[in-house]
Structure 1
Amino acid sequence: MNEAIIQLDHIGITFHQKKHTIEAVKDVSVSIKQGDVYGIVGYSGAGKSTLVRVINLLQIPNEGKITIDNDVTFEKGAVQLSNQELRQKRRDIGMIFQHFNLMAQKTARENIAFALRHSDLSADQKNQKVSELLELVGLSDRADNYPAQLSGGQKQRVAIARALANDPKILISDEATSALDPKTTKQILTLLQELNRKLNLTIVMITHEMQIVKDICNRVAVMQDGSLIEEGSVLDIFSNPKESLTKDFIKTATGIDEALAKIEEQDFVKNLSAGSVLLQLKYSGSATDEPILNDLYKKYQVTTNILYGNIEILESTPVGEMIIILDGEVSSIEQALSDLKNSDVKVTVLKKGAK
């Protein structure tokens, strides 16, 4: 089992501004293992950006302990490393940002090479390294282009290559896909997944979009008002969210809210007939392999009208969601609902037909 490469223990960060005291981070503990793609999700003001500055060793917390790659870096409001050791630790952490932060007057090659200015490599070795990085991110043919000549996705690829120049063990993505269109976002996330696999790179994704977490992460932490309110594997969080904010994020990511709003506007749903019931079903794993709804008809003569269906693959496990109408005798529907629940399907009754 991989050890934690990032360990935050009871981190607290407080800012004092004139007469105001702001608790930006409140007693946050996080363990991120080598090779994880770890998502930290929350809305603006949740404390994500402040936590990033703790992880990349730019912000000393008032409380708690930070361990990066087995070395205690900050503890009890003080730096635990020498200046040289701290600089080296920071070189082990690459950063990519929402707006790329490229230098407009330098080409793609020169932007990447700039990250190697303090490297011990020879000039030839630096050139070789930059060429390898350009190939790694699929931009060998754009080496001599300036940022203004590149698309948003290409700029982010340059930024990723620059972040990898010093062979970091950790890559932090701070809302790095927020300025990109959906297609380009998918391409960048695919690239990050490839880098995670090829380089055993630990990636920390800071985002306000649960869709990003769903597409790339294996673990996720949800933050609200400076506190960590929920944490776990992506499969567990999506299958069984505990907190209302987490549920809201997931509804947005799966599109269920939008689908349900449209369904509820349909006349036949507004005027649901007697003996009918509108249900939301959530299921995962082996439950997705069974013809459950077909069996309900065979056993109880209960008919099913599927209004919405979606299946995702999370951590190689299918996770599904449906909105359906069951129609039949009241006693038969009760038996059908009992069967569904016994089949490890989470059932929410949304509406019952008028008697």
Structure 2
Amino acid sequence: MASLITVENLCKEFNGIPVLKNINFSIDEGEILGIIGRSGAGKTVLMHLIRGVDEPPTSGKIIFHISACNKCSHIDLQSKTGDKCPKCGGELVKVDVDLWAEENRSMKRRIMTRSAMMFQRTFALYGDDRVIENVMHALSDINYPPEKQVSRAADLLDEVRLSHRMMHIARDLSGGEKQRVVLARQLAKEPFLLCADEPTGTLDPRTAKIVHEMLHESSIGNHMAMLVSSHFSQIIEDICNRAIFLEDGEIKKIGDPKEIIDTFMKDAADDEIFEKGDLGDELLHAKDVIKRYITVDRGMIKAVDGVTFEVSEREIFGIIGTSGAGKTTLSRIISGIIEPTGGEMNIRIGEEWVDMTKPGIQNRGRAKGYIGLLHQEYDLYPHRNVLDNLTDSIGLEFPKELAMRKAIITLKMAGFNEDKSREILNRLPDQLSEGEKHRVALAQVLIREPRIILLDEPTGTMDPITKIDVKHSIMHAREDMDETFIVVSHDMDFVREICDRAALMRHGKIVKIGPTEEVLEYLTQEEREIMSRPEA
């Protein structure tokens, strides 16, 4: 099989700190190459360099082996050398292009038109447009003949099994459906390379499996090479031809996906033992909470339907359920983002009980300041460094020395060791891995010293080792700071390991509440299939 890309001695530094160190490997035409490694290993930086975005490497080369038309700007696979150009009829000539060489800037732009990228948390859709219109926009971007766009867009939606959603408004799709629209938009470019950086990190396991199947089928059907990073290790084993184990910016091993995963997972054992939580008095009490919506097409929707529960000090309380069960709506009521239709949501502040359902600075306004929320679609301030994101950007005023001290303490609680905490203080968010960004976002919540922290899908984009770090950060925050956590998650393994109690929601109601293991035993087989992660 012909080679598509050769990476030679690739190095990348940020502020003098090495992130990638002498990376060497190749990708063949049509090959699916997996990258696995814990957060901060350099996976995203490597993908961006191969895609040609952001800043150039510090040293080394990324060489694309392609063919280029001698008459127009069309480029193709090197295996097409000698064929006629499908655009103008010219001849395709063999070319090797050093992507980041200054003299190849024009050719780099041409290569980027035939490569695509899917990010882990950015759907990049026109939210108010229909699904088929989103795909047609992508076809317009590559100057596809207008009179053929509707038919081609429909073909692409067939390819990602989304024909039954083509007339839906994009913002109304589920996360998995949005990601399949993104894939259809990328396939519109007819890429010979797709970089998929944790494309299913925020999706439930069953939906993630569907999207990965789409990626696999698209690679084979379009003879498209793919570079895919994922913390779903079983998926890398299932769909990748080869895999790379990346650690601290270095390739530790490359070869058979199963062997690579086995090597990586050796470090994922959790030997730390935590004491059973010594719970305090009741801290939050919800009584008959209701949230109803009126819609044109579906009429009355009972998103939350008469929910009653309580949470104690220092408790880690889980809220679980499949998509549409009402857990996200309930979490937004708890955090004060939305107002319920009826019922009470009381939180104890000091010796006083405050009803979150009542507006005003002495009620919901007062309580919100003591509730920290980390949503799965969190945002950091892109142009402020980590220190500023933890202090100035969220309105906390500390003298510089105290700010650094407080930031380091909080970053350690969020899963960083002290050396790493000091190392990243002056980095911008774009210089962090996705897992590191998540932990900084958690630190941004912790530094406000809330009484209750609500975590929405806290492990969605994390590799197994980073998940252990986050588990430890939550347990240490409970032990060291007397923090109370409410965890909304589809990751049943994580819920089992960390939660004292859990509540199972179905159709807006809590149908089972109690010790976590008892609640998990109450799941139906369908719920288990949806919410259980693939075996690693």
Output the TM-score relative to the length of structure 1.
0.63
Q: Which of the numbers 19, 22, 34 marks the counterpart of 2:313?
A: 34
Once the two structures are superposed, residues 217-266 of structure 1 have per-residue CA deviations (whole angstroms, 9 ceiling, x without a partner) of 1101111111111110124335xx34536x843997598xx8xxxxxxxx
**Does residue 1:134 correspond to 2:414, yes or no?**
no
The amino acid across from 1:150 in the alignment is L
Task: For 2:347, give the aligned amino acid.
Answer: I
- The alignment status of 1:66 with 2:345, answered yes or no, reads yes
Q: Distance in 1 between matches of 2:320 and 2:512?
A: 10
Matches within 5 A, 1:40-59: 40-59=319-338
Partners of 2:530 and 2:338 in 1: how far apart?
A: 34
Q: Spell out the pairing of 1:97-112 with structure 2 (5 A cutoff).
A: 97-112=375-390
Q: Which structure 2 residue ranges, 5 or more long, are not aligned? A: 1-278
Aligned residues: 248
Say yes or no: does 1:244 pair with 2:524. yes
Give the partner amino acid of 1:134.
Answer: L
1:92 CA displacement: 0.8
Once the two structures are TM-superposed, the CA of residue 168 in structure 1 deviates from its matched residue by 0.4
> What SS does structure 2 have at the residue aligned with 1:46?
coil
**Mapped partners of 2:440, 2:514: distance in 1:** 32
Once the two structures are superposed, residues 33-86 of structure 1 have per-residue CA deviations (whole angstroms, 9 ceiling, x without a partner) of 1111111011111111110111111221111111111523245xx43xx32553
What's the counterpart of residue 225 of structure 1? 507
The 1:29/1:84 distance shift into structure 2, 3 A limit, reads closer
Partner of 1:191: 473
- State the 1:25 CA deviation: 0.4
* Structure 1 residue 100 displacement after superposition: 3.5
Within 1, Cα distance between the matches of 2:458 and 2:519? 23
Say which of 475, 486, 498 aligns to 1:216: 498
How far apart in 2 are the matches of 1:38 and 1:173? 10
Match of 1:313 in 2: none
Partner of 1:25: 304
Local SS of the residue matching 1:140: helix
Q: How far apart, CA to CA, are the structure 1 residues paired with 2:353 and 2:400?
A: 32
C-alpha distance in 2, partners of 1:115/1:42?
34
Paired with 1:187 and 1:135, the residues of 2 have a C-alpha distance of 10
1:146 matches 2:146: no
Distance, in Å, in 2 between the alignment partners of 1:148 and 1:91 is: 28
Q: Distance in 2 between matches of 1:135 and 1:189?
A: 13
Q: d(CA) in 2 for partners of 1:114 and 1:223?
A: 38
In structure 1, the residue matched to 2:165 is: none
- Cα-to-partner distance string for 1:144-200 (whole Å, 9 max, x where unaligned): 111111122211121111101221011111012112222222221221111111111
RMSD over aligned CA atoms reads 2.6
User: Residue deviations 1:104-140, cap 9 Å, x none?
Assistant: 21111111114541x4655664454334323443222
Specify the code of the residue in structure 1 equivalent to 2:344: K
Residue type at the aligned position of 2:487? M
Q: Determine the structure 1 residue equivalent to 2:452.
A: 170
Residue in 2 that maps onto 1:327: none
Q: How far apart are 1:6 and its partner, in Å? A: 1.3
The correspondence of residues 74-93 of structure 1 with structure 2, limited to 5 A, is 74-75=356-357, 78-79=358-359, 82-83=360-361, 85-93=363-371
- Over 3 Å counting, the alpha-carbon distance change for 1:254 and 1:109 in structure 2 is closer
TM-score normalised by structure 2 residue count: 0.43
> What residue in structure 1 maps to residue 281 of structure 2?
3
Cα pair 1:115 1:166 within 8 Å, conserved: no
Gaps (5+ residues) in structure 1? 259-355
Instruction: Write the distance in 2 (CA, Å) between the matches of 1:46 and 1:251.
Output: 12
Which of 371, 374, 378 in structure 2 is aligned with 1:96?
374
Give, as a single letter, the amino acid of the residue that structure 2 aligns with 1:244.
Answer: T
Distance change >3 Å, CA 122–CA 142, structure 1 → 2: closer
Cα gap change, 1:84 to 1:65, in 2 (>3 Å): closer
Match for 1:16: what amino acid? I
Q: Give 1:214 deviation, angstroms.
A: 0.7
Q: What corresponds to 1:158 in structure 2?
A: 440
User: 3-state DSSP class of the match of 1:153?
Assistant: helix
Q: What SS class does the counterpart of residue 223 from structure 1 fall into? A: strand
C-alpha offsets along residues 299-331 of structure 1, whole Å, 9 cap, x if unaligned? Answer: xxxxxxxxxxxxxxxxxxxxxxxxxxxxxxxxx
Superposition deviation, residue 9 in structure 1: 0.5
Distance between the aligned counterparts of 1:134 and 1:218, measured in 2? 24
Q: Distance in 2 between matches of 1:24 and 1:251?
A: 20
Q: CA deviation at 1:212?
A: 1.5
Deviations 1:85-106 (A, max 9, x none): 5333212111112244112211
Kindly provide the amino acid, as one letter, of the partner of residue 37 in structure 1. I
Distance in structure 2 (CA, Å) of the matches to 1:55 and 1:124:
35
The alignment partner of 1:166 has SS state of coil
SS of residue matched to 1:83: coil
- 1:86 & 1:242 partners in 2: Cα distance? 34
CA contact (8 A) 1:115 1:162 kept: no
Secondary structure of residue in 2 paired with 1:64: strand
Matches of 1:131 and 1:84, distance apart in 2: 33
Percent of aligned pairs with the same amino acid: 24
